Amino acid sequence: MSKVIYLTEEGFNKLREDLEHLKSVERPAIARQIAEARDKGDLSENAEYDAAKEAQGLLEMRIAKLEDTFANARILDESKIDISSVQILNKVKIKNLKNNTVMQYTLVSENEANLKEGKISIGTPIAKALMGKKVGDVVEVQIPAGLVNFEIVEISR
């Protein structure tokens, strides 16, 4: 049994769009490539055919993975997210106690993580350390640069 994957409505819709694109655009394109390569003759020595079949296999794996994710996805109602302690979909402002830099992250599922947008996966060491903590709490996190202490400055939606 696959595990439940929690997504925002935006993440769920993006997943649905990606899946539809793969099925309605990518799949027919690869089928055309295979047909064109097949028309070129001997399949035993046809590198184009082999490449197209390999691409088809990879595409079908991606589609199957997305379908599995989609089937196990649950949409989180952001309006019902509690902000008394850190949990998924919270925006958390933290201050590095060593250099006083303040950073803000939104804790999201692995599927929606995007560091450029300030969205970190709940599976990261920082997010794991923050989960369940409250404003004013100090957490110690082991990151590649070493051990760092962060103070939770603010929790919001």
The domain that holds 124 is classified in CATH as 3.10.50.30
Please give the chain's pLDDT, 157 residues, in tens. Answer: 468 888 888 889 989 999 999 999 999 999 999 888 888 776 667 788 888 899 999 999 999 999 998 888 888 887 788 889 998 889 999 999 989 999 999 999 888 899 999 999 988 999 999 999 999 999 999 888 789 899 999 998 8
Range list of H helices, 4-152: 9-21, 27-38, 47-72, 125-130
Asked if residue 92 and residue 151 are part of one domain, the reply reads yes
Asked if residue 149 and residue 104 are part of one domain, the reply reads yes
List the domain range (segments joined by +) for residue 48: 5-75
Q: In a 3-state reduction of DSSP, which class is residue 52?
A: helix
- Number of structural domains, the chain? 2
Asked if residue 71 and residue 100 are part of one domain, the reply reads no
What's the CA gap between 142 and 140, in Å, rounded? 7
